[in-house]
Amino acid sequence: MILFITGTDTEVGKTYCGVALVSTLVRRGLRVAVMKPVACGVDATPEGPRNADARALAAVANVAADYAEINPYCLALPASPHLAAAAEGVRIDLERLRVGAARLQARSDVLIVEGAGGWFAPLDERHTMADLAATLDARVILVVGLRLGCLNHALLTAAALRTSGVHFAGWIANHVDPGFAQAAANITTLEQRLAAPLLGRVAFDRGPPNSGHEVTITDASYCLDK
């Protein structure tokens, strides 16, 4: 099974929620592999250029994989994937990503794939993250960054998921703005309007991914069983 994590925007906590989901499934005794197919923005490490999001996911997975398997396109420019790829003269090949994902999936019970940016983030002049998720035949989990405007962003993304024909497995409410007074009311509204279950709520002050702060995905079984 492949679960694809997308977000209502960039910087809404996809990686943090992805780490929490991987950790939750590992604790349940599942073999969990991870993949960040396209990453934009790198850090210099002794092993070479690496993306922080891909490294955070790899740190909690319990299926061993080479970095190149986890992050086939590690692009230096912190920009939209199509711009970062163009800057390096690279074309993002969906078939290459499908084959790589299939190899990881064959060694695991669940493969967690994190997208870059939002649902329609461009990969080239024609394809988007939505095309990648469809190519992988993945179930999609939406991370909603709780802040002013999130209702519109979440409902628009959910509508786009429906038109893309993918399976909307559930969503995670992530408190990204500590001053957002209407967070609880917004969650209630989305529970009423999104045709998928709320899988978990992430508090604001929780530290970086892999910091030891516990984040529980309360209903991870739903996205696996339905």
If you count DSSP H runs as helices and E runs as strands, how many of each does the chain have, helices first? 9, 10
CA-angle at 97, arms to 94 and 99, nearest 5°: 110
Q: How far is CA 127 from the centre of its chain?
A: 18
Active-site residue flag, 36: yes
Q: What stretch of H or E contains 44?
A: strand 43-45
- Cα–Cα distances (Å) from 28 to 63, 109, 210, 220, 221, in that order, read 14, 11, 18, 10, 10
Amino acid in position 223:
C
Q: What six digits make up the tokens of 78? A: 């912190």
CA-angle at 99, arms to 97 and 104, nearest 5°: 95
Q: Which of 4, 15, 36, 173 is catalytic?
A: 36
What region does 13 belong to: left with phi over 0, alpha with psi -120 to 50, or beta? left
What whole-number distance in Å separates Cα of residue 190 and Cα of residue 150?
A: 9
Smallest CA-to-CA distance from 18 within 140, 129, 137, 192 is with 140
Q: Most distant CA pair in the chain: distance in Å?
A: 48
The catalytic site residues sit at: 36
